[in-house]
């Protein structure tokens, strides 16, 4: 793949291949900088990439002792043979996700170049105090260059995929980091382990306020390497893959991390996500779609007990082929007519299984991927039915995995009344509540929002580990299980927060 005309070139390709099932390329320039790209594919098309820059120095002196105090973004590499030992200090920019377009890639690489040059200058000054000499790899002796580029583990070391222990979906938890929530009114930073928010309810404030809290939690788990599934009912999370442009606001909250866009894949119904009839609760389907006839429910249930079906047309054919004395011909034909009507109202909506393994995939170990389920084009009945179906499929998928401690997946449901709505279907809503309660034992965390705590069922709030309640503006009360509540001014997001138009409040 041809590289865009980015700054500080020319860039020479030093690796092009596949690492851990991901296409990857490494480029170098004459300023001792390596550019690492791990590509995100949609079919054969490149849709995005995880980008990371490294500046490589050949080092002389006791760098190994200095390396013990290095921050996470730096690596120490030693190559040894019978004649000599070569030492290298590698300064990284931290990985960032970018859409694969010329302007986006150029802008992001420019930002990372400035960051890595600043970091390199600081480290060089510090090294002098340790009597350590650093020389950029480009100006080092040829033997040093050969020793570096012939290192067998060079590709996994430089890959943003190589952070922490190798993991697979549903089998190993993410490596959790501290989560910066914001500041107190006295301007003290508030930091918590992201793991304490494994079951969180967000209430109060405006919908935009609650979205900010949910997006912060999404970022926290993504930075820890956990995949995040987001049910998006109005495209509120479309900014997650774009860096926050308000850098000054981040600085006011003492955020040292650079703004970042995250790897995101959007799944749209009915092409990419749909209702799998084999995981449907027949009674819940009848409630959601408004046909409450008990015989129709019995016939559908009997069909699903006998057959695995794909689509409403195939279900109708299976029902007509059943030899059940307890169902009259009239009842069978009535059920078939209802299914035919549903097929016309929701074409292809019931046509097959969901790609749960892809939806819950971690992809890049140092940076989780967000799977945004865009349900904005569905009516409230279809939203509830599809949300229930996805959650049921996630539960089944992770139930078959060996249970590990910690969180393997995080689920976000904004304005949870969209999916826990007993007015549309009490059966599906109660079932969703039951699934959320079981998620704790499957290594699945979640965060839900609603305007009021009363909008959640009593049992749901009992299962919570954390509650974030907006008081005024970004001033929040945080209640963690087993601890006294405290107040925090919630910080801005690292990614772009898409603010939705506020709906007028009804008078009380």
User: Which tens digit of pLDDT belongs to each residue from 96-140?
Assistant: 778 888 988 998 898 889 888 887 887 777 777 667 888 888 888
Least confident piece of the model among 24-33, 146-155, 255-264, 347-356: 146-155
Contact yes or no for 248/240 (Cβ under 8 A): no
Contact yes or no for 434/284 (Cβ under 8 A): no
Residue 418's pLDDT is what? 85
If you average pLDDT over residues 336-349, what whole number do you get?
A: 95
- For residue 505, pLDDT beyond 60: no
Q: What is 184-228 written as a DSSP string?
A: -TT--EEEEEGGGGSEEEEEES-HHHHHHHHHHHHHHHHHTT--E
What residue has token string 């695995």? 308
- For residue 499, pLDDT beyond 80: no
Is CATH 3.40.50.300 the classification given to domain 178-272+355-490? yes
If you average pLDDT over residues 158-185, what whole number do you get?
A: 57
If you average pLDDT over residues 403-432, what whole number do you get?
A: 87
User: Which tens digit of pLDDT belongs to each residue from 279-304?
Assistant: 999 999 999 998 876 889 999 999 99
Domain boundary assignment for the chain = 12-158, 178-272+355-490, 277-345
Residue 138's pLDDT is what? 86
If you average pLDDT over residues 393-405, what whole number do you get?
A: 82
Structure tokens at 161: 């995929």
| Three-point CA angle 380, 383, 388, nearest 5° | 130
Structure tokens at 291: 């046909």
Provide, rounded to the nearest whole percent, the portion of the chain with pLDDT above 90: 47
Would you place residue 168 in the very low, low, confident or very high pLDDT band (cuts 50, 70, 90)?
Answer: very low
User: Which tens digit of pLDDT belongs to each residue from 315-332?
Assistant: 999 999 987 778 899 999
User: Which tens digit of pLDDT belongs to each residue from 39-93?
Assistant: 888 778 888 888 889 999 888 887 766 655 554 457 777 777 667 788 888 888 7
Angle of helix 329-345 relative to helix 294-306, nearest 10 degrees, comes to 80
Residue 337's pLDDT is what? 95
Secondary structure class of 251 (helix, strand, coil): helix
Cα–Cα distance for residue pair 366/359, rounded to 1 Å: 18
If you average pLDDT over residues 253-270, what whole number do you get?
A: 87
- For residue 257, pLDDT beyond 80: no
């Amino acid at each position: 793949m041809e590289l865009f005309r980015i700054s500080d070139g020319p860039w020479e390709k030093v690796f092009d291949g596949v690492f851990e099932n991901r296409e990857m390329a490494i480029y170098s320039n004459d300023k001792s900088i390596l550019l690492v790209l791990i590509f995100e594919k949609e079919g054969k098309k490149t849709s995005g990439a995880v980008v990371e820059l490294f500046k490589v120095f050949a080092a002389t002196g006791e760098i190994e002792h200095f390396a013990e105090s290095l921050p996470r973004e730096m690596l120490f590499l030693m190559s040894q043979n019978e004649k000599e030992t070569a030492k290298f200090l590698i300064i990284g920019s931290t990985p960032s996700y970018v859409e694969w377009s010329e302007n986006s890639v150029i802008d992001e690489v420019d930002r990372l170049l400035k960051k890595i040059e600043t970091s390199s200058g600081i480290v060089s000054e510090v090294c002098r105090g340790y009597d350590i000499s650093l020389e950029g790899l480009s100006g080092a002796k040829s033997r040093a260059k050969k020793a570096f580029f012939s290192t067998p583990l060079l590709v996994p070391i430089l890959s943003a995929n190589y952070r922490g222990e190798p993991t697979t979906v549903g089998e190993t938890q993410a490596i959790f980091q501290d989560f910066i929530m914001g500041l107190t009114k006295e301007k003290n930073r508030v930091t918590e382990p992201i793991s304490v928010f494994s079951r969180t309810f967000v209430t109060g404030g405006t919908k935009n306020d609650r979205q900010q809290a949910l997006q912060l939690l999404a970022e926290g788990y993504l930075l820890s390497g956990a995949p995040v599934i987001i049910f998006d009912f109005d495209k509120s999370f479309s900014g997650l893959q774009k860096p926050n442009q308000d850098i000054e606001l981040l600085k006011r909250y003492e955020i040292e991390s650079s703004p970042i866009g995250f790897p995101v894949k959007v799944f749209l119904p009915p092409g990419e996500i749909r209702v799998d009839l084999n995981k449907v609760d027949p009674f819940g389907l009848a409630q959601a779609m408004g046909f409450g006839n008990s015989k129709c429910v019995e016939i559908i249930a009997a069909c699903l007990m006998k057959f695995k079906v794909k689509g409403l047309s195939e279900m109708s054919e299976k029902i007509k082929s059943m030899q059940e004395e307890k169902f009259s011909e009239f009842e069978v034909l009535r059920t078939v007519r209802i299914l035919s009507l549903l097929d016309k109202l929701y074409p292809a909506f019931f046509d097959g299984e969901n790609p749960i393994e892809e939806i819950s995939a971690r992809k890049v170990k140092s940076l989780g991927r967000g799977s945004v389920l865009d349900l904005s084009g569905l009516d409230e009945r279809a939203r509830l039915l599809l949300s229930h179906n996805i959650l049921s499929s996630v539960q089944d998928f992770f139930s078959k995995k060996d249970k590990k401690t910690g969180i393997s997946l995080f689920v976000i449901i904004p304005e949870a009344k969209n999916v826990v709505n007993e007015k549309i279907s009490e059966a599906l809503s109660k079932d969703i509540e039951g699934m959320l309660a079981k998620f704790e034992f499957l290594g699945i965390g979640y965060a839900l929002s609603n305007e009021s705590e009363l909008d959640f069922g009593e049992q749901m709030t009992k299962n919570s580990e954390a509650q974030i309640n907006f008081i005024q503006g970004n001033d929040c009360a945080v209640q963690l299980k087993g601890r006294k509540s405290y107040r925090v001014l919630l910080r801005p997001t690292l990614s772009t927060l898409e603010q939705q138009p506020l709906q007028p409040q009804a008078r009380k």
